[in-house]
Copies of this chain bind each other. A is one copy, B any other.
Amino acid sequence: MSRRVDAAGAAELLRGLKEVGVLIHRRPDGDAVGSAFALRQALGALGIRCRVLCPDPIPEKFSFLAGGGEEEFQPLCYVAVDLASAGMAGEFEQRAKGCLLCVDHHLSNEQYAENLLLDPQAASCCELLLPVIKAMGVPLTPFIATALYTGAATDTGCFLFRNTTAATHLAAAELMAAGADAALVNQRFFEQKSRSRLALELMVYESLEFYLGGRVAVATITEDMIKRSGATAGDLEGINGLARGIEGVEVGVTLREGPGGVCRASLRSNRVDSSAVCRVFGGGGHQGAAGFECTGEFADIKALLLRELEKRL
């Protein structure tokens, strides 16, 4: 069990450091990257040597935060941001275990750190980090503000998802006033889609089938569709959410053809427990979003899934 600290307590711990490695989770998203690089600059402003350690490469789309590379050194001390479990730090798992401090907003945080600032009400780790950085006595530079805005915006689908609270908007207001380049972040993550993504979306929409009175929508994504659209790995991000985005749809199902005839099924719902449904097929996930993999004809998988959904709707 971690000792719980508040923003002032976390700031005090951070101010006392000489050098530190900041740990984030594998397959890093906007909140992880934004948190880590905001913190790195804040620590740097206090003369604290700092490097960010992530088990996976930081995706190109975060180059405006992570550019410039990392100083190579072996830190004496570690802190973790947006990291729910030590295992998600991948090769840095042992550094995460018992690290000095973790700042996180996941209810499922496994309390692997010595000290923990946890607020599951915070929509993003960046939202939670803002008062910490202020308590460190570091001025909110445009870079720090942009980094924190990145997490605040991406973890809420640009202030759309239900985790968005008044506090989220207050933080966004403060960050924009401090010079956050919201236009750059929004453009990169929300305003525009690539032509290949659009081409794929159109095919996915064309593939939609509606069942159970329109309450279930099933989208199909074949390897051929991905090839014809020219979609990259980045273009596939969030594609499983399309089926759920149609009025009246309570369960969005996406069946995606993988290599070797594998079918990757994904469920999205606010009505049924997606995780429970997917466990029936040997998969799992969260209540709102879950998945499983199997082999077989798509038509058969669909029929089995619909039978399972009919019981629960």
**Which parts of A156-197 form the interface with B (CB within 8 Å)?**
158-160, 162, 164-170, 172-174, 176-177, 182-183, 186, 190-195, 197
Per-residue CB proximity of A54-82 to B under 8 Å, as 1/0? 00000000000000000000000000000
A160 touches B190 (CB 8 A): yes
Selecting from A6-14, A85-93, A220-228, A244-252, the interface stretch reads A244-252
Which chain B residue shows the least CB distance to A252?
A: B192
A121 interfacial contact with B, CB 8 Å: no
Known: A174-B166, A205-B202. A195 touches B160 (CB 8 A): no
Which chain B residue shows the least CB distance to A187?
A: B270
**B contact residues around A237 at 8 Å (CB):** none
B159 touches A191 (CB 8 A): no
A183 touches B158 (CB 8 A): no
**B contact residues around A214 at 8 Å (CB):** 195
B166 touches A177 (CB 8 A): yes
B160 touches A245 (CB 8 A): no
A198 interfacial contact with B, CB 8 Å: yes
Known: A202-B202, A245-B193. A166 touches B158 (CB 8 A): no
A297 interfacial contact with B, CB 8 Å: no
B270 touches A194 (CB 8 A): no
Which chain B residue shows the least CB distance to A241?
A: B191
Chain B proximity of A217: nearest CB distance (Å): 10
A300 interfacial contact with B, CB 8 Å: no
**B contact residues around A159 at 8 Å (CB):** 158-159, 169, 172
Complex alpha-carbon distance, A194 and B172, angstroms: 30
Complex alpha-carbon distance, A126 and B166, angstroms: 17
A interface residues with partner B (beta carbon < 8 Å)? 158-160, 162, 164-170, 172-174, 176-177, 182-183, 186, 190-195, 197-198, 202, 205-206, 214, 244-249, 270
Interchain residue pairs with CB less than 8 A apart (9): A159-B169, A162-B186, A164-B176, A167-B173, A169-B176, A191-B245, A192-B246, A194-B247, A202-B205
